[in-house]
Amino acid sequence: MPRADRILPGLPPGRALLDRRGDLRADPGLLPRLLRDPGTRVLRLAGDRAPVEHAGPGRARLVLGAADDADAARLALYLGEAGGTAYVGVVVADAPAPDEDDPGWRTLRQVGADLDPLGAEVLTTTLALANWHATHTHCPRCGAPTEPSLGGWIRRCAVDGSEHYPRTDMAVIVAVVDADDRLLLARGRGFRPGGMSVLAGFVEPGEPLAAAVVREVEEESGVRVTDVTYLGDQPWPFPASLMIGFTARAETTELRLQEDEIEDARWFSRDELVGAVEAGSVHLPGRLSIARKLVEHWFGGPVDAPEVPLR
Ligand SMILES: [Zn+2]
């Protein structure tokens, strides 16, 4: 498999920066000990927001500190270590959510592209795990409450002892390009007016990734594709996806939209896309997203555009 970080610049590096140290998770004393250690770097997550500080133009830094007394009673997640320092995520559910406009508390969508790679990995992992814990409080077998265990990497049922693991939902996302080198962009239901992106959809059980690409593109747009080529992937914890990015060649160009999901779809030449973005009639996905990276991979470089949320 090609080096994803070389094909799509700006994606998380192919090698994790956090050593997750799965070998330490079974020690029930691990988190209590780390929460007492002033050297531990704790990221507090409140709702989907994390504390950040400005670190220069277009740059932000997570505010990481030692645990405080209240953290001992909160859901704590052992993220691993980097450079000899332990990192722990703590989910703050006992305090009012930070104000949406508070510049000191930002979401991953808002700040992810501005963080350093380790900071982005710490926040992404904390958010992904926290999202899973929030919706898996009860055992799917017997309905009894479950408790976090193994440093926050599983939940265990107190009644039948079954163990439940965090899930990641695989989704394919694909830049479809036709014989004239035009890119297919679509607006999903629920996007803001003018918001357009490449096609994406969830992988179904029993389905290879390339088959999911072919199926999703045909279902959503009516276009048949071939030459499905992997370009890179990106954890996307909104709430629990892994976006697996491809390019594919269109064998047909006639559009037949899946109307309950796709409101609009069009083929764009590079000039048409630049014109539409400059005129403000098309808004591209955010800089953080693999969707944007796929558009820019086709385009051949950055497409300068103001940052506007798609949804
Ligand atoms: Zn159970």
Compare 70 and 2 and report the one with higher pLDDT: 70
- Determine the distance separating the centroid of ligand 1 and the alpha carbon of 160, expressed in angstroms: 5
- Determine the distance separating the centroid of ligand 1 and the alpha carbon of 130, expressed in angstroms: 21
133 has a pLDDT exceeding 80? yes
19 has a pLDDT exceeding 70? yes
**Would you tell me how many other CB atoms lie within 10 Å of the CB of residue 208?**
10
Structure tokens at 58: 């277009």
Give the pLDDT confidence score for residue 310 in this predicted structure: 62
Structural domains in the chain?
4-135 (no CATH), 169-299 (3.90.79.10)
- Determine the distance separating the centroid of ligand 1 and the alpha carbon of 306, expressed in angstroms: 49
- Determine the distance separating the centroid of ligand 1 and the alpha carbon of 271, expressed in angstroms: 58
- Determine the distance separating the centroid of ligand 1 and the alpha carbon of 149, expressed in angstroms: 14
Q: How confident is the model at residue 15 (pLDDT cuts 50, 70, 90)?
A: confident
